[in-house]
Structure 1
Amino acid sequence: MLQARNVVSKLIIGSVLAAAASSVLAQTVIRASSWHPPKHPGVIGGYDPFMNYVKKESNGELDFKFWSGGSLSNAKSTLPTVRNGIADIGVLALTYFPAEFPYAQLVSNMAMFSENPPAIAAAVTELVVLDCKPCRDEFTSKGLVFTSSYSTTPYTLISKTPIESPADLKGKKFRSAGTLWDRWANYVGGTAVNVSSAEMFEALDRGGVDVAVFSPSALKSFSLWDIAKYDVMLGLGTYAAMSLFTMNQSFWRDLTPEQRKILLDGSALGVMGVTFAYMDSDDDVLKQAKQHNVNIVKPGESLVKQRDAFVEEDSKKLQQLAKDQYGIQDAEPIITRYRELLKKWEGIVNEVGPDRNKLAERMQQEIYSKVDPKTYGM
């Protein structure tokens, strides 16, 4: 009888070990890369909650190996890194790649249509995922899959010297994120310099730029308050031409539809997480700025009038710019739809309030529930 029990015990133990081994073998380790620093909103607000959600909802079937701070790829090398499968997921700042992503430049050119970051983040994501096939095709044609955007808070003017009037902008070199901000820099008599956010500190420190055009959060997340003395709160639109969780298409195809659904729903948490982390970071930085000898400056009336005149003039040129610069023959339906989505999501934000989790749930309902994970991105 004892011998029989031993046999049964060994069979049970063997079954448990086999099941455990099978579970380990079934686990997919996703290689994710972000060039954002570890404490950047893109990491603490985006990738961290996204990865936690995916691991939990997949019951550990999906896990992550995560590189941040550009340790695997920097902002401009992320495109080949993800396209070639060195990473499965990565962050793309799409204005760095105007030739590869012309429709993303159109999105970027509409950056001054609103100053409501959560609404912008959701509107851009819905536009691309549901309503703009050419936008999605830009990704699939390169072996990539778009899942989500996000939005910074409104850009401001971070500098070493005071900026009080339009005359102070003339001749300045501006760190620009491209497209719209390049045109604004030219409009005010300055020069646009396209460097990544990760390169802002060095550029401002060494005189490569005179002014960093970025949200106040950069004072802390990129340590600009160690060298800058002024932040002029002239709202210059938000940056939302982002692909936060860009998927390698071969990796995407190897997943089950259920796993793709988890990644899509998790993206909503990341979208709102990054966006609200930017908002939280701005609030935190503005409270601490005085301790770092940074003057937070309300823009003068002449600067505001100049900005408003630029927006009015520039918005009339968007369709022609899209055609001439990016080969988009009929941009009007995309511009119109984006305006509609902005209005829709501004209403949802007003309805829900500043609750990132509830807004993420609304993104899951309004966007990702309408996606077929069996065919999306294929």
Structure 2
Amino acid sequence: MIHLKNALRVSLAGATAAIALTAAPAFAETELVMSSWLPPRHPIVVNAMTHWAEQVEEVTDGRVTVRILARPLGEPPAHFDMAKDGVADITYGLHSFTTDDRFTRSRIGQFSFIGDDAVTSSQAFWNIYSGPLEAQQEHEGTKLLGLFVHGPGVLWSNQRQAETKDDIAGQKIRVPGGYIADLMSDLGAETLFMSSPEVYEKLSRGVIDGVTFTYEALTAFNLTDDLKFGMTVPGGLYNTTWFLVMNEAKWGEISPEDQAAIEGISGEAFAELVGTAWNDADAAAMDKISEAGIQIAPAPDALLEEIKTDAEKYEKAWADAIAEGGYDGAAALSDLRAATGVSF
């Protein structure tokens, strides 16, 4: 009987050890939940976020995975705080959707004449904002994984082609907040802030006359039937700046080895990935915009000069504001435009 009990103890100990060995890899794995507010078939979700999630799993040998939710856990403007507060592990969004001034230095990527190519513009934005402008400090409570911009922003209208300020005056124009809201007000428009998914309803019902958007957005949000004119400027009338962040505590749960691997596919590499997705989406959208009969024209020289004058005013105000923190905004803007090849 004693031998039987000893044998049973040995057997149970061996089984417990086997269970522990089997269970160890499962406990070592980390699933990260990304709240995604763009439509699931949006090119940035399909060709950037999804690919990045796949890369995370690949470079960590499956120890870290990312699950992208089909429905967001909150409204688009809430997404930074959702990551900071741990409502979601990972989020992305626009800096201008956050109405306070916590992302003041991000505005460098929102000005006019920034760049015509989303890859070089996104990489330049990442390198300058995360480098000399210390973006991580403005994203406190999260791990900053990515920064990017889209292709050149355009003014779209269903009223008339914008050839002078008088053509813009009085039109109700959707803006994403930030610099372009100020610029459009100076140009005489009545600006209305709304997130991207809200635009279709407001435009189709006649609540707004036009939008500031990319080429891609017209097809992604089904707007081609409700717009007639587009006005462009070299390097974009404006841009929007975006973040990709992870909850700081969740990042701390990941091993240093896997953190380094994830950083290797983030940052500038992610800027190239998402910039390529924007470029491809813009190119595809241009064909559909042409088929819809929307007329696109560059801003006439006189209007372009007025836009430059207004832009310089806001750039100087921004540079003066961040100078109080020891940052050289004018030099940073010059470096950004040198990297994207836009002269201003």
Give the TM interval when normalised to the shorter protein.
Answer: 0.7 to 0.9
1:256 aligns with 2:255: yes
Alignment partner, residue 305 of structure 2:
308
Cα distance in 2 between the residues matched to 1:57 and 1:298: 45
Judge which range, 255-264 or 167-176, deviates more: 255-264
Question: One-letter code of the match for 1:334?
Answer: G
How far residue 216 of structure 1 moved from its aligned partner, in angstroms, is: 0.9
1:297 counterpart SS class: strand
**Deviation of 1:36 (Å):** 1.2
Q: More displaced, 50-59 or 176-185?
A: 176-185
CA–CA distance in structure 2, aligned partners of residues 41 and 181 of structure 1:
23
Equivalent position to 2:42, from 40, 55, 71: 40
Q: Given the alignment, which residue of 295, 319, 338 partners 1:343?
A: 338
Q: Give the partner amino acid of 1:251.
A: K
**Contact kept in structure 2, 1:165 and 1:300, CA below 8 Å:** yes
CA 1:115–1:30: 2 relative to 1, 3 Å? same
* 1-structure distance, mates of 2:269, 2:295: 31
Measure the CA separation in 2 of the matches of 1:212 and 1:102: 23
Instruction: Give the superposition deviation at 1:76.
Output: 1.0
CA distance, structure 2, for counterparts of residue 110 and residue 299 of structure 1: 17
Unmatched tracts of structure 2, length 5 or more: 1-12
Divergent runs of 4+, >6 A: 11-17
TM-score normalized with structure 2 length? 0.84
What's the TM-score, normalizing by structure 1? Answer: 0.77
Compared with structure 1, are the counterparts of its residues 253 and 300 closer, same or farther at alpha carbon in structure 2 (3 Å cutoff)?
A: closer
The total of aligned residue pairs comes to 328
Inter-partner Cα distance in structure 2 for 1:40 and 1:14: 48
Q: 1:46: Cα distance to partner?
A: 1.9
RMSD: 2.9
Is 1:56 aligned to residue 58 of structure 2?
yes
Which residue number in structure 2 is paired with residue 272 of structure 1? 272
Hey, what's the Cα distance between the residues in 2 that align with 1:38 and 1:108? 26
Work out whether residues 157 and 234 of structure 1, in 8 Å CA contact, stay in contact via their aligned partners in 2: no
Alignment partner of 1:27 out of 18, 29, 41:
29
1:118-197 superposed matches below 5 A: 118-133=119-134, 135-140=135-140, 143-166=141-164, 167-197=166-196
Q: Deviations over 1:335-359 (max 9, x none)?
A: 3134224424659xxxxxxxxxxxx
The one-letter code matched in structure 2 to 1:123 is A
Q: Whose radius of gyration is greater, 1 or 2? A: 2
CA contact (8 A) 1:116 1:346 kept: no
Percentage identity across paired residues of the two chains: 18
Of 311, 317, 336, which residue of structure 2 is paired with 1:320? 317
Other structure's SS at 1:55 match: helix
1:282 aligns with 2:282: yes
Provide the secondary structure at the position in 2 that maps to 1:30.
strand
Shift of 1:313: 4.1
* Structure 1 unpaired stretches of 5+: 1-10, 348-378
Cα 1:334–1:165 change in 2 (3 A) is closer
Aligned to 2:230: 231
Structure 2 CA distance for partners of 1:262 and 1:226, relative to 1, 3 Å: farther
Against the structure 1 CA distance between its residues 305 and 34, is the aligned structure 2 distance closer, same or farther, given a 3 Å change threshold?
Answer: farther
